[in-house]
C-alpha cells in the first residue's frame, strides 16, 4: 500500500481485511503468552518471561487497536500513546527483574528456552507476514507492526540465549537478552509516542 507523507492519508486500519488480520494476530499472541509464561517459570528463564509479557501486552493493545479503528485521529493517537507508555513500563519491569537476578544468576533450562523460543518465533513470523502489507499506517497501525516485529526479534534472541546458556553453562546470556529486549521495547515506545504526539497536534 502506498505511503503518503501527510497524516490525513495514512491508512487508519478501516478495512475488513485488516480487522480480520488483527483478530488472527490477537489469538496467536494470547495463546503464546500462556505457553511462554508457563515455560519461562518452569525453565527459570527471564528472557522467556520477558517475551511472554510482550505477548500479553500485544494481545491487549491489539484489542484496543481493533476498537480504535475508524475513530477520530485524535482518539487513535491517544490509544497509541497508551500503548507506547505500556511498552515503556514493561521494559522497566523487565529491567528490574533482570537486575535483581544479576545478584544471584541461576541456570535456566536451555532446551526448554530453545524449543519454546522456536515455537514462538514461528507464531511471530506468521503474525509479521499477516501484517506486512499494513506496516506503514498511522500511529495506531504502526504500533501493531512494531510490536509484532519486536516479538520476532525477541524470539531469535531467546533462541540465541538458549544456545549460549548451554554452551557456557551460565545464566548470564539469558539476563543479557532480557535487558536487550527491554531496550528494544523502550526504543519502540519512543517511536510510537513521537508519532502519536505529531498526530494529536495535527488533529487540533
Task: Please write the tens of the pLDDT for every residue from 64-115.
Answer: 878 877 778 788 788 878 878 888 888 888 888 788 777 766 677 778 888 8
Going through 29-173 in order, the beta strands assigned E by DSSP cover none
Would you say residue 10 has pLDDT above 80? no
pLDDT band at 202; cut points 50, 70, 90: confident
Q: Residue 46 corresponds to which cell in the numbers above?
A: 527471564
Are the CB atoms for 25 and 148 separated by under 8 Å? yes
Q: Residue 69 in 3-state DSSP?
A: coil
Q: What is the mean pLDDT of residues 139-168?
A: 78
Instruction: For the chain, give every domain's residue range.
Output: 7-203
CA 13 to chain centre: 19
**Sign of the C-alpha dihedral, residues 65, 192, 100, 176?**
positive
Measured between alpha carbons, how far is 71 from 74 in angstroms, rounded to an integer? 8
Measured between alpha carbons, how far is 40 from 44 in angstroms, rounded to an integer? 6
pLDDT band at 27; cut points 50, 70, 90: very high
Q: Residue 106 in 3-state DSSP?
A: coil
Q: Which residues have a Cβ under 8 Å from the Cβ of 175 and sit 6 or more positions away?
A: 46, 47, 98, 101, 102, 105
pLDDT band at 204; cut points 50, 70, 90: low
Q: State the burial class of residue 139 (Cβ atoms within 10 Å of its Cβ: 0-12, 13-18, 19+).
A: buried
Would you say residue 37 has pLDDT above 80? yes
pLDDT value, residue 6: 34
Are the CB atoms for 180 and 50 separated by under 8 Å? no
Going through the chain in order, the beta strands assigned E by DSSP cover none
pLDDT mean across residues, the chain: 78
At the top level of CATH, the class of 7-203 is mainly alpha
Amino acid at each position: 500500500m502506498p505511503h503518503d507523507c501527510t497524516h490525513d492519508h495514512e491508512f487508519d486500519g478501516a478495512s475488513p481485511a485488516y480487522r480480520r488480520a488483527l483478530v488472527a494476530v490477537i489469538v496467536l499472541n494470547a495463546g503464546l503468552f500462556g505457553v511462554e509464561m508457563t515455560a519461562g517459570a518452569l525453565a527459570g528463564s527471564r528472557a522467556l518471561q520477558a517475551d511472554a509479557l510482550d505477548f500479553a501486552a500485544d494481545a491487549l493493545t491489539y484489542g484496543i487497536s481493533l476498537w480504535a479503528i475508524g475513530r477520530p485521529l485524535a482518539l487513535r493517537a491517544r490509544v497509541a500513546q497508551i500503548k507506547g507508555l505500556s511498552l515503556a513500563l514493561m521494559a522497566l519491569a523487565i529491567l528490574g527483574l533482570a537486575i535483581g537476578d544479576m545478584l544471584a544468576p541461576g541456570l535456566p533450562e536451555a532446551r526448554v528456552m530453545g524449543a519454546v523460543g522456536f515455537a514462538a518465533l514461528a507464531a511471530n513470523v506468521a503474525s509479521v507476514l499477516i501484517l506486512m502489507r499494513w506496516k506503514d499506517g498511522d500511529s495506531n497501525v504502526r504500533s501493531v507492526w512494531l510490536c509484532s516485529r519486536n516479538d520476532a526479534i525477541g524470539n531469535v534472541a531467546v533462541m540465541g540465549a538458549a544456545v549460549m546458556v548451554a554452551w557456557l553453562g551460565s545464566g548470564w546470556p539469558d539476563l543479557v537478552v532480557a535487558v536487550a529486549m527491554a531496550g528494544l521495547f523502550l526504543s519502540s515506545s519512543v517511536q510510537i509516542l513521537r508519532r502519536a504526539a505529531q498526530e494529536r497536534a495535527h488533529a487540533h
